[in-house]
Structures are given as structure tokens and as C-alpha cells.
Amino acid sequence: MRIFGKGRHRPSASWRQATDRAFTLIGDGRYEDAGELLTRAADLEPWLSESWFNLALLHKFRHDWEQARAAGLRAVALLDRETGAPDWWNVGIAATALQDWSLARRAWQAYGLKVPGGAAVAGEPLGMELGSAAVRLSPEGEAEVVWGRRLDPARIEVLSIPLPSSGRRWGEVVLHDGVPHGERTTSSGHAYPVFDEIELWAPSPVPTWVVLLEAATEADRDALEQLAADAGFAAEDWSSSVRLLCRMCSESRMPSDEGEGVHLDPHDHSEPGHPGPLGHRTDGQLWVPERECGVAAPASLVRGLLDGWVADSPDSRDWRDLEEVC
């Protein structure tokens, strides 16, 4: 709340009722009706940063980035603290969606983040060294959590090969929300946040293929993944990397490597003995030679990549049923 002199201004009962009702409508997906109420609330209390913050949130949900930027700027103009306000984060997301890099830099810096070059530089806020994170693709549909590299506080480059149901590809850049929903932990103890995708920011020209491999050993499988990486693309053994989780488990703190081999993860809701999208657990064997693998590579390269992998060890490797899926 804004403080005027020594007194703290409290929003009126009408403002609170309109705002509470608006967020109920937002939860029901009734954005137009919610917008009318939040606009009315802003008319009632235009000096409250919360009035404009709430409008900026609504416009973010609607992906109306021009309006989100305008409302966000009005919100930050009324703030009574210098750094750390979520209002600035929403401004940063809207500015990133619009590629308004000078405003994005200003927003991240005002939030309290270190931005190489400061707010005066005109280009993208690269080099912030935010590390790896996970992103939940299509959070309102057939959600899938994949790994990626954070380019800045609002964008992740997808480094996993998403399943075709997500409609996303390896190498795409997605805009994501600022509040994590869940974590993924590794065997080393590191925890990584899971952010929800807002929308596709930059598409990838590289198609996704699915192929059935015969890989006698894990080393054979690893060789294909390394061969693809050396070529500048990717291959991923979906038989071991895919887990089916309920929403509650997905949005919690989850180990990223449990459920493989003979260990049964109690949070895994897939079916034992079915590789790939149907589940990643085996029926007690340490290794199943038939693997369902995703490959991200151009059409002109993918068959040669697979043939080269087989040629390096023809007695222990083979492939079949190659299909472009996304």
C-alpha cells in the first residue's frame, strides 16, 4: 500500500470486492469479465500500485504484452521501495516478449539482479549466467517438464528433446513465468527450479524424429547421443528419460533421476515394462536393448547419423522405424 505522509492509505471495500471477484474470474478463465472489474478497481484507486500490478498480471495471462507493459510501468511508478518488487519482474517479462531490451535491462536491474552492461546497453541482457533450469511446456495441456539453459530471467532455451505432444522442439526458446512451480534435484544434491512456459518466443527449424534403436549396452546408446551432440544436434533416450507424473508430483520437489533401472519411484505413474512415453521402468532387467529414442536433426542428416552410429559397431547396434513427429 502507498504511504502518504504519515498515514497509510487503505483500499476501499469496493476496490477489494472488485479485485477479489476479478481473480475468481481469472481462475475460471473469464479474462474479459475480470478485465472489466480490474479496470474499475484501477479507476477507484489509481494511486495504488496494486491496481496496476493486477492489471499487468491479467494482461500477462492474456499475452497482451503492450497492455502488460503499460500497466506494469504505471505500477512501478507508484512503488514505495527501490528493489525486489514483483512489479518489476512482470515488466521484465512483458519487455522481453516485446524485445524491448532497454526496458528489460532496466527491469531486471531494478528488481535487484546484476545485468552485464547495466540498463544503458541496448541489446539483449545476455551473459547473466543464470545456469540451468527446467521448464514445464504446455502447462495447461499435456504438460511436460524438460531441461534448458536460462538465457535471462524470462527465457529458457530448450536442451531436452520434447515429446511431440508438447508441440515444442529442441533448441526453441520459450518465455516463462517468474514463480517456479516445483523443483528437480540431481543425485549430487543440486536443486533446479521448474518454471511454467508462457509462450513460444523463438521457434526451432530442427525437426524431431522418433526411432527404435537396438543398443546392446548403455555405452552403445551413449555413443549415439554423443555423435549427435558432436554434429551440433541432439539425441535422447526417451526410454530412460521419460516419467509420467501426476500434476501434484510434477509441481513438487522431485528427483530427476529416480525410477531408472530396477528402482521403482513411488511418484512415477507410468506402467512398468513399457519404454518411452508409456513409462521408463523395466521389469527388473538392468538394460533393455530396444530403446525408443528422440533425435533432433535436419532431414538431410538424420539417416546418415544413425547409419554412422551402426557402422561403428554393427554387431551391437541397429535402428528402424524412423519417423518425423514434430
The 10s digit of each residue's pLDDT in 51-81 is 999 999 999 999 999 999 999 999 999 998 7
Does 230 share its domain with 308?
Answer: yes
What pTM, to 2 d.p., does this model score?
0.82
Buried/exposed code over 187-199 (b: 16+ C-beta within 10 A; e: otherwise): eeeeebbbbbbbe
Tally of domains within the chain: 2
Does 191 share its domain with 310?
Answer: yes
Q: For residue range 81-116, what is the model confidence (pLDDT) as tens digits?
A: 777 889 999 999 999 999 999 999 999 999 999 998
**Cβ atoms within 10 A of the Cβ of 84, count?**
13
Does 195 share its domain with 148?
Answer: yes
In this prediction, residue 267 carries a pLDDT of 41
Does 132 share its domain with 224?
Answer: yes
Three-class secondary structure of residue 291 per DSSP: strand
Q: Is residue 116 part of a domain?
A: no
Which long-range contacts (C-beta less than 8 Å, at least 24 apart) are formed by 99-108? 100/69, 101/125, 103/69, 104/152, 104/154, 108/152, 108/153
Domain limits for position 56: 13-111
Round to the nearest angstrom and report the end-to-end CA distance of the chain.
48
